[in-house]
Amino acid sequence: MANSARVWLWSALLVFSVVISASADDFVAEESASAVLTLDASNFSETVAKHPFIVVEFYAPWCGHCKKLEPEYEKAASLLSKHVPPIVLAKVDANEELNKELASTHEVSGFPTLKILRNEGKNIQDYKGPRDADGIVEYLTKQAGPASVEIKSSEEAVNLIGKKVFIVGVFSEFSGEEFENFTQVAEKLRSDYDFGHTIDAKLLPHGDTAVKRPVVRLFKPFDELFVDFQDFHLNTLEGFIEAASIPIVTIFDKDPVNHPYVMKFFNNQNAKVLLFIHFTDEHFDSFKSKYFEVAENYKDKKLSFLLGDVKAGQGAFQYFGLEESQTPLIILQQNDGKKFLKPNLEADQIATWLREYVDGNLTPFIKSEPIPEANNEPVKVVVANSLHDVVFNSGKNVLLEFYAPWCGHCKKLAPILDEVAVSLQDHADVIIAKMDATANDVPSEFEVQGYPTLYFSSAAGKLLQYEGGRTVQDFIDFTNTNKEAAADSTIHSDSIKDEL
């Protein structure tokens, strides 16, 4: 639940698409002599075993992104075949019955999926590079080389480090346990980060001879610009790299340069703090500096911070059910899905608000439509703020539908539920209800993966997911079979008792 919430959130935020460059147009693939190997289940293993480095594309003939990639992939294969040693590109039609198992053992869940197989297929990594021919060639040339490159001059250092996260190991010699552990971590993380190693710390930006070797220096184009680390245990080093490459405050705007960090932000395990403000707001600078100060103070408290431009945040606003008029606002989401909100925030309130959160003095924020004043249709309207009263505290038998306004199956079901409700109107111990699950938070007791989802809560509080047929009679039979005598009638819901 918490996990899927996380994925939903960042996909809502990051609606950007892969752009394939037009450089394929000047290249005509010769059908007779494709540079891309065609593999299937019969010869996959033997081919992979022959090549220390091979890239495999799993595709499906009907997939549009695969078709766009095809000429680029072909051109890259032809260029890379001249590389010494050759870099081999292959493809597998994952739609073919006999190849399906091959695809599933390689964890293919969408098309196209590209995998880099090294060491006779014993080491498999996801391809995380660009999708145009030149980009593919550049990325794979680097991937086929050593995981960490030796830095021998300061020009090299400047060229390599550039405007990205870059990790350098500084050693007194290129051997020993520290160096081996560093190389192993570089191998493991090479598709996500760039690595280098050197004997001479003076060659590095901000370098000096006083650096105590061995040390790992992580360069980043944000925050303190570089940070040193001297623990060479494999897991600790890996953890350090992951943590240090997330900015203290992740910036979220329309600039795609920031998007990899935004993804990292949502993928990490911390609770997330998001501040949304118009970046053109006259008070932006004072918000920004106060926010950075707070983030710095709390960075060891399992909190991650994001500063978002209202213009880029429409997806997030919809997801949380917020309005632009509430900005500047700050919202905190825990991994269990619990949220806290402060709308119409002032810069001076950031620190106090967070202190109150840490001290446990804030009440969670629940996305809810207003409780309806009149609720006199046969099917009762439930909202997040009335759900517990109606479903759990009314002492009645409740059949509750979670729906989405845009869902076709829900629209078909609506007149059926109306009829069920009318038929059961004389049963004071039965409530037929519905909740718009896109406009209201669904409490953790329910698992709503698709629409419509129906639950039945008996008078005694037994909760069942409804998985029966969808005719009027099916619902009536189910309700009559599962309902229990109404509980103590002194407990009932204020929000609906008048209508019953």
- Applying CB under 6 A, which residues contact ligand NAG? 37-40, 42-43, 47, 177-178, 181, 232-235
Q: How far is the CB of 160 from ligand NAG (least distance, A)?
A: 25
* Annotated catalytic residue within 36, 92, 398, 410: 410
Q: What are the strands of the beta sheet with 329-333, ordered from one edge?
A: 249-252, 303-309, 271-277, 329-333, 339-342
Considering the complex, what minimum distance in angstroms separates the CB of residue 207 from ligand NAG? 23
Minimum Å gap between C-beta 38 and ligand NAG is 5
Rounded to the nearest whole angstrom, what is the least distance from the CB of residue 212 to ligand NAG in the complex? 15
Query: Shortest approach of ligand NAG to residue 54 CB, angstroms?
Result: 11
**Nearest one of 336, 324, 330 to 352, comparing CA atoms:** 330
Residue 31: CB minimum distance to ligand NAG, A: 14
Please identify, using beta-carbon distances, which residue of 148 and 457 lies nearer to ligand NAG.
Answer: 148
Nearest approach in angstroms of CB 132 to ligand NAG is 25
Q: How many CA atoms lie within 13 A of 397 on its CB side?
A: 20
Nearer CB in complex with ligand NAG: 40/138: 40
Cβ-based neighbour number of residue 297 at 10 Å: 13
Q: Positive or negative CA dihedral for 482, 486, 491, 494?
A: positive
User: Quick check: is 66 catalytic?
Assistant: yes
Q: Is 343 a catalytic residue?
A: no
Give the CA-trace dihedral at 329, 254, 20, 88, to 10 degrees. Answer: -70
180 catalytically annotated: no
DSSP of 362-407: PPPP---PPPPS---SSSEE--HHHHIIIIISS-SEEEEEEE-TT-
Of 232 and 276, nearer to ligand NAG (C-beta) is 232
Toward ligand NAG, which CB reaches closer, 232 or 252? Answer: 232
**Complex with ligand NAG: residue 92 or 383, whichever CB lies closer:** 92
Q: Using CA atoms, how far apart are residues 322 and 348, in angstroms rounded to an integer?
A: 22
CA angle 245, 247, 250 (to 5 degrees): 130
**DSSP letter for each residue of 97-146:** GGGHHHHHHTT--SSSEEEEEEGGGTEEEE--S-SSHHHHHHHHHHHHS-
Q: How far apart are CA 479 and CA 456, in angstroms?
A: 8
Catalytic-labelled residue, pool 5, 14, 29, 63: 63
The residue (of 90 and 382) whose beta carbon lies closer to ligand NAG is: 90
Q: Which two tokens stand for residue 288?
A: 């920004």
Q: Which of 257, 259, 223 is nearest to 243 (CA)?
A: 223
| Residue from 41, 211, 407, 422 carrying the catalytic annotation | 407
CB nearer to ligand NAG: pick between 181 and 258: 181
Q: What are phi and psi of 287, to 5 degrees?
A: -60, -45
End-to-end CA distance of the chain: 34
Q: Assess whether 95 carries a catalytic annotation.
A: no
Catalytically annotated residues: 63, 66, 407, 410
